[in-house]
A and B are shown apart, each in its own frame.
Chain A
């Protein structure tokens, strides 16, 4: 499981071009874009790889057991960096003022004690389940977002692409064509050389022909803006990825549906409380959400951003002031289209007897219900398609109603 690499984002510039922050988008406009009612929905799925500590991001301050379990890293309503109260029970990490503002404006919501159907603790299997949409691991040929795209009426091809990272996240991998893009600080090969190579590949290596053709188109679309290869810290990188993505997605002929992944959430040691390592990462996520909002401009009102992670972390901190792999966690929704200002939760409580296997926040909401609710409200996918194609064998996880205004 993984990625238990402390300070990785702090010490490496690898982030932007690798898994540290990757982005890909559907290569087509949905047919109903710019339809008569003027609604032009956009969806951005943000995957946090490494397992986000939901109890440190949206803390159940009202739960009498929380402070004891989370110990030295617990958030509190007072002190130098007080958590931001979302309601009388839950409080948001102080590193996320932008999300707090969206929440107050009713454009952001939290779903708590949520999990995919996966119940073991391997990052990689957990990410497979989260991104593939299958009930168990090992199905890595396609992701749920890609299968959702396949059933959407396909309009024109997008003329600009995006995606940071040489690989497409599993959630968007599959037979529906996708596009990607990465900022480059390297002089580019000229068109003629590229076309000759495409021609050679066409005869000898069709897979490479298709990959290179896509890479060439996307690079064009993204050039000319201010996205030089990122330098600097993870916060700046997350923001920069989001800014670039938002810019492309704001265009009339830009992608409408995209996925992005941030690494680095595997906080086994020295996780930190109101300040520290997790706070730093959450600040980056918060900045990325703000970039989406400002970059999408008037399209923000039709946008939903879904933030999800493969599983949560132990309710009790471990011996090294961090948390180990757990189960229940949070999902976040942000965007002008979100019916927000709510923490949606059937709170299981943190008494020992209520913890999953005596160690993790017990999941009471199926993450698939949340995502299905968003897909249904944003794109009108039917219960049947959602239960059979997008999330196979998920009929019991009914789409959550009313997430989108």
Chain B
């Protein structure tokens, strides 16, 4: 068993979330069999699934939002009816309406909050910590903290479950794969209340089951998930000649159709035209989710609404799809998943994520071939990456994203998060708010994005905060052993040794190239 710390760094950092501190023995284990260490997780597909007490399925979450919105609305209307004046707050104190208005709003939040709270998840929200990224303006003077509403609570519970999983995972390769695919098929929680409450469930339901499965299955699960249909407006899109389109004088919205081809499958140069975008948009009309009234199905669940579907055959990329109803779109997605442009696009993005901003062409070609030959078997593609030489010889030049950096730091410090607030807040600051990328193309995946001056300075500030809080209790040189052992550079070792305090040493360790590059 040759000890190879450099290969262990590749195993842990390029493929995983970094070595765990404490008694994990990660670096030693990874040293003795680097490839086996990474691949062990691939043989446990069920291990990718995430189930935790209190995490609810999409329809229930949607229903919680509907109920919350109804209660807020009722409270507002009650207040309006009781106090028609513009400024109820100025009404005399002995009048009930203004008081009642506030009470009802809070009550609504509390009631729905308790609903979501009826779960033993270890996520007791701490009022003094940061709210999730959609937080309302926070007054400077910090009055009594608002109780979290059902949406914020669910978001935090999902965030916590994901963070805990990433922190505890052995290597973290499958969790990195989840993060990769989740970013590829991203939605943004900032789109609205439904998107926020669904963000975690979307990943659990549409991404995780297929991370070691087939691309085509993930594609279908994603495009039929209420969160994606909401995020890219497809629930509003009506076939112009459909019954609903004729009645309601609304029509097509091509947003989701375009992104399916540009971002999810073919890629921007993938050989489709504006006409194909419009065709696909027509093909997937009727893909929606049931609303609060539940006429089409359980509120918040995916449904195919035949009344919104554009009737008749459509031509997409030169092929005619004459299936009826839902089958038409499913056939189109199956062909898109299998398109050569898709294989190329996915393989390139995959290698860029794991190996280098400029992905080695031979490796891309090999993974593309695997993707094609196995009909989009994502486990086969991940295995081929681990088996490649390039992935082990290319220098560790990629910057860790803010999420990777924070998780790696938590792992090294052996701190299993009990509250997601610190992470969510730090991710907001560093420009990677959880499940809230700036656009449907997801967060950037390049050094240019994550090694910018302001970003590095902010990382240092955060590292200094962690150092100040935790530095007392740790030996930074021990941590360096856990993180890199003899693969650490002499300069890094010396910098940590000579630090003026443990706090400073910890900040410097967390910021060292060994912890920042992967």
Binary contact track B250-267/A, C-beta < 8 Å → 1, others 0 = 111111001100110000
Of the listed stretches A86-94, A177-185, A297-305, A368-376, name the one at the interface; the rest are far from the partner chain. A177-185
Instruction: Say whether B461 contacts A189, CB under 8 Å.
Output: yes
Distance in angstroms between the alpha carbons of A123 and B258 in the assembled complex:
11
Distance in angstroms between the alpha carbons of A385 and B431 in the assembled complex:
36
Instruction: Say whether A184 contacts B429, CB under 8 Å.
Output: yes
Interface size class of A (residues with CB under 8 A): 35 or more
Residues in B with CB closer than 8 Å to A155 are none
A157: Cβ under 8 A from any B Cβ: no
Instruction: Say whether A205 contacts B517, CB under 8 Å.
Output: yes
Residues in A with CB closer than 8 Å to B190 are 5, 7-8, 11-12, 14
Can you add 5 more A-B contacts, CB < 8 Å, to A20-B438, A166-B452, A167-B454?
A: A11-B192, A12-B436, A166-B450, A173-B448, A269-B233
Instruction: Say whether B513 contacts A204, CB under 8 Å.
Output: yes
Distance in angstroms between the alpha carbons of A231 and B136 in the assembled complex:
8
Distance in angstroms between the alpha carbons of A291 and B508 in the assembled complex:
39
Instruction: Say whether B513 contacts A205, CB under 8 Å.
Output: yes
Binary contact track B174-205/A, C-beta < 8 Å → 1, others 0 = 00000000000000101110001000000000
Distance in angstroms between the alpha carbons of A124 and B192 in the assembled complex:
23
Instruction: Say whether A211 contacts B252, CB under 8 Å.
Output: no
Interchain residue pairs with CB less than 8 A apart (22)? A2-B259, A2-B439, A4-B259, A5-B191, A11-B190, A14-B438, A124-B268, A167-B452, A179-B453, A190-B464, A199-B495, A200-B512, A201-B513, A204-B492, A207-B447, A208-B456, A211-B453, A211-B455, A213-B453, A215-B453, A215-B458, A319-B237
Instruction: Say whether B255 contacts A4, CB under 8 Å.
Output: yes
Instruction: Say whether B439 contacts A163, CB under 8 Å.
Output: no
Distance in angstroms between the alpha carbons of A180 and B495 in the assembled complex:
28
Residues in A with CB closer than 8 Å to B354 are none
Q: Which 8 A-B pairs have the closest CB atoms?
A: A319-B251, A215-B457, A166-B455, A3-B439, A189-B464, A215-B453, A214-B453, A12-B190
Interface size class of B (residues with CB under 8 A): 35 or more
Chain B residue with the shortest CB-CB distance to A232: B137
Distance in angstroms between the alpha carbons of A137 and B269 in the assembled complex:
10
A357: Cβ under 8 A from any B Cβ: yes
**Chain A nearest CB, measured from B471 CB (Å):** 11
B43: Cβ under 8 A from any A Cβ: no
Instruction: Say whether B464 contacts A14, CB under 8 Å.
Output: no
A159: Cβ under 8 A from any B Cβ: no
Residues in B with CB closer than 8 Å to A196 are 495, 498-499, 504, 508
A interface vs B, CB < 8 Å? 1-8, 11-14, 17-20, 50, 120-125, 137, 163, 165-168, 173, 179-182, 184-190, 192-194, 196-197, 199-201, 203-205, 207-208, 211-216, 218-219, 229, 231-233, 263, 266, 268-269, 318-322, 324-325, 357
Known: A6-B233, A13-B133. A1 touches B262 (CB 8 A): yes
Chain A residue with the shortest CB-CB distance to B252: A319
Residues in B with CB closer than 8 Å to A165 are 431, 454
Known: A205-B513, A218-B454, A318-B253. A166 touches B492 (CB 8 A): no
**Chain A nearest CB, measured from B270 CB (Å):** 11
Residues in B with CB closer than 8 Å to A201 are 513
